[in-house]
Amino acid sequence: METKDFRNEKLSVDEINVIEKIESIIQETIPVVDSLLNNPFGMKIEDEHVTGLQLNGFGEKVIEIPYEELTSLKELYLASNNLKSLPQSLISLKNLKDLVLMVNEFKVLPEIVCSIQSLEKLYLDGNLDMESLPKSIGNLRSLKLLSLGATRVNNVPDSLKELTNLKSLFFNDSKLTELPESICYLTGLEELILRWNDLTELPESFGNLRSLKLLDLAFNKLTSLPDNFFNLNKLEHLNLSSSELECLPESFNSLTSLTTLDLVENKLSNIDALKGLKALKNLYVCGNKIKEIPHWLCDFKWVMELDFSGNELKSVPNCLGRLNTLYELWLSDNPLKTVPESLSWLENLKVLSLYKTELINLPEAITSLLSLRHLHLHENQFEELPKSIEEWIDELKMKGCFVSLEETGFTPIIPPWKKDWQREIE
């Protein structure tokens, strides 16, 4: 990483003095960096002022720093410092926008944080003893992102609803058994991450969150969804993977903005409730009990990724070849007897996964698929493949395509549903 010495930067005498004080306290030379996100330690200088400071892992000595002398500070990272409290001098940081307090030892969010009304992003992840937020959290009216992952916060005050500018709330890995009602009043919320909790149901008021664009409920214990869940017609990304869903209500059709839907590892036997979701680009239903791919799916002209692996498919509809935007097709771990010649029409296909099926041959027409980058054929009982298929496989390999004919324990591609859902809404 490229770093610079602050003594070569244009800074006032006062700012140079305060940096030297900080270095004396932490007993380290602080490098100047271009971005705090990409560096484990350092400071950021803009317009001749210190605007960012990252002091992760220095312990409680960071409390001694004279923050009142850093009035231009916009970003402050104090993660992994075993902090139980914060200095009152933080109230002087009138320009602070990002505060990172991850992996400390707070039992409750210090009141002083709720006095920094300029805050836009607050990260509290990994404070394993934190069980509640103060009522004064509602004072942070400029807050756009609040991250509470891997905490034990279950006491959320009603004042949370005052955070009318909040766009992103991360509440993952927190052992929630029920969703705090006040969250359902955050009507401007666009991104809500609730994965890895113990939720068995959602409150009826959940349908109030009409601005949601991304919702991650993976790895909970949901068996059903509230009726007004389907008011969320701005949803673009929905993750319900690894839940206990056995069926989908017909009202699912009202989620017409959905482009990505993850239903991996549920107990679904059919997906007819998705028939109206014509905007879908990515559909992941791996690990269910689906016996056939519905024909109506062939009319989804924007679809790019389909994962039906790990189901009970014995065949693939011929019409699937009409999906000329399809980029990835995962059909592995199904009792497939045949695949249609129409797969050869998928000229944009980059990934074709057919391992662990009951296929004994492949249609020769498939040799027209010359854009493939990954072809998975291992754990099948193929008879001797026609020469044309063997030549096609050799040609793909020459073009750099990964082809698996035997189990190697290594497949250099991540199934699409394993990709990280968490993203920041600008």
For strand 42-46 and strand 49-54, is the pairing parallel, antiparallel, or unpaired?
Answer: antiparallel
Six-digit token string for 424: 């920041």
DSSP assigned state of 18: H
How far is it, in rounded angstroms, from Cα 38 to Cα 79? 15
- Please tell me the pTM assigned to this model: 0.92
Residues 15-33 as b or e (16 or more Cβ within 10 Å = b) = beebbeebeebbeeebbbb
Neighbours of 210 (CB within 10 A): 14
Spatial contact of 338 and 317, defined as CB atoms under 8 Å apart? no
SS3 label, residue 215: strand
Six-digit token string for 289: 């009990």
Six-digit token string for 340: 């249609």
What string of DSSP letters covers 74-99? Answer: -EEE--SS--S---GGGGG-TT--EE
Domains detected in the chain: 281-426 (3.80.10.10)
Spatial contact of 294 and 271, defined as CB atoms under 8 Å apart? yes
272: phi then psi, degrees, rounded to nearest 5: -60, -20
Neighbours of 177 (CB within 10 A): 12
C-alpha dihedral (397, 400, 403, 407), degrees to nearest 10? 120
Spatial contact of 116 and 139, defined as CB atoms under 8 Å apart? no
**How confident is the prediction along the chain (426 residues), in pLDDT tens digits per residue?**
455 666 666 788 888 899 999 999 999 999 998 889 888 899 999 988 999 999 999 999 999 999 999 999 999 999 999 999 999 999 999 999 999 999 999 999 999 999 999 999 999 999 999 999 999 999 999 999 999 999 999 889 999 999 999 999 999 999 999 999 999 999 999 999 999 999 999 999 999 999 999 999 999 999 988 888 889 999 999 999 999 999 998 888 999 999 999 999 999 999 999 999 999 999 999 999 999 999 999 999 999 999 999 999 999 999 999 999 999 999 999 999 999 999 999 999 999 999 999 999 999 999 999 999 999 999 999 988 889 999 999 999 999 999 998 865 555 566 665 555 444 433
What's the helix, strand, coil split of the chain in %, to 5? 25, 15, 60
